[in-house]
Amino acid sequence: MKLHVNNVTVIPSADRAHWWNEWLDSKQSFPATGNFDLAGNAHGLLLVHNEDVVDSGAGFDTHQHRDMEIVTWVLEGSVVHQDSVGNSGVIYPDLVQRMSAGSGIMHSEKNGSGWRDRKPLHVIQMWVPPDENGVAPSYQESDVGTRLAANGLTTVASGMAKHREDTSVTIGNRNAAMHVARLGAGQSVTIPEAPYLHVFVAKGAAEFEGHGNLAQGDAARITAGGGYRVTAKDDAEIVVWEMHASAR
């Protein structure tokens, strides 16, 4: 059950949209499968925030996107990526990937583990709209493992001017940034101030100041606020979207 207190709404994992088939289990913070009005369900600029488990040897065959900034963050396993503008490679934990679909791009995403290895892929994929439609497609990736080892809130993808010197990859939206914190038990980070924030527990569990405990898959959506402390209950990974505009 959603819990709304002042400017914070806590979304339990079980309240997310859930879609699955024989090889994919997708838990969606915003309904994505079959939804043609993503902005209508967005929080700030965040249109899609899917936590997917993909069976070994399976994945998404070649398909098209356009006019979307797509960020992929792997929690376990690996993604084999190929696209129509010549990019290919393997995305693994610690490697953040940004694909700007722009005027149109075809790509495929597969679990890097074959059928014989039988290792699932656990991945988060997030979409925000671009500042400008119809630009040339582009791609960027960066390994942020060393930076995350510092245990602070690390900016891993941003289009905001204030992060120009400290972000790992850039996104084509000047009002959005993605941060990640990898924390040991008892360690804390402070959430920035912004008109819209989305705080997601990707691994472990954490205490969200003033709003109780968040388990894996739970999220807090914040409007016109910030400054809250998030403290890991055990080893935890926290993903935070900071947004200074809305898609609606």
Query: Would the annotation count 179 as a binding residue?
Result: no
51 labelled binding-site residue:
no
- Mean pLDDT, residues 168-182 taken together: 97
Number of domains making up the chain: 1
Which residue range forms the structural domain that includes residue 109?
A: 3-243
Q: What is the CA radius of gyration of the chain?
A: 17
Query: Do the Cβ atoms of 171 and 157 come closer than 8 Å?
Result: yes
Asked if residue 248 belongs to a domain, the reply is: no
Residue 108 placed within a domain: yes
Is the pTM for the entire model greater than 0.85? yes
pLDDT above 70 (res 1): no
Q: Tell me the pLDDT band of 118, cut-offs 50, 70 and 90.
A: confident
Residue 244 marked as a ligand binder: no
| CATH number of the domain encompassing residue 98 | 2.60.120.10
Q: Is residue 155 part of a domain?
A: yes
Burial class of residue 89, CB neighbours in 10 A (0-12, 13-18, 19+)? middle
Task: For 26-44, write each residue's pLDDT tens digit.
Answer: 999 999 999 999 999 999 9
- The answer on whether 109 is annotated among ligand-binding residues is yes
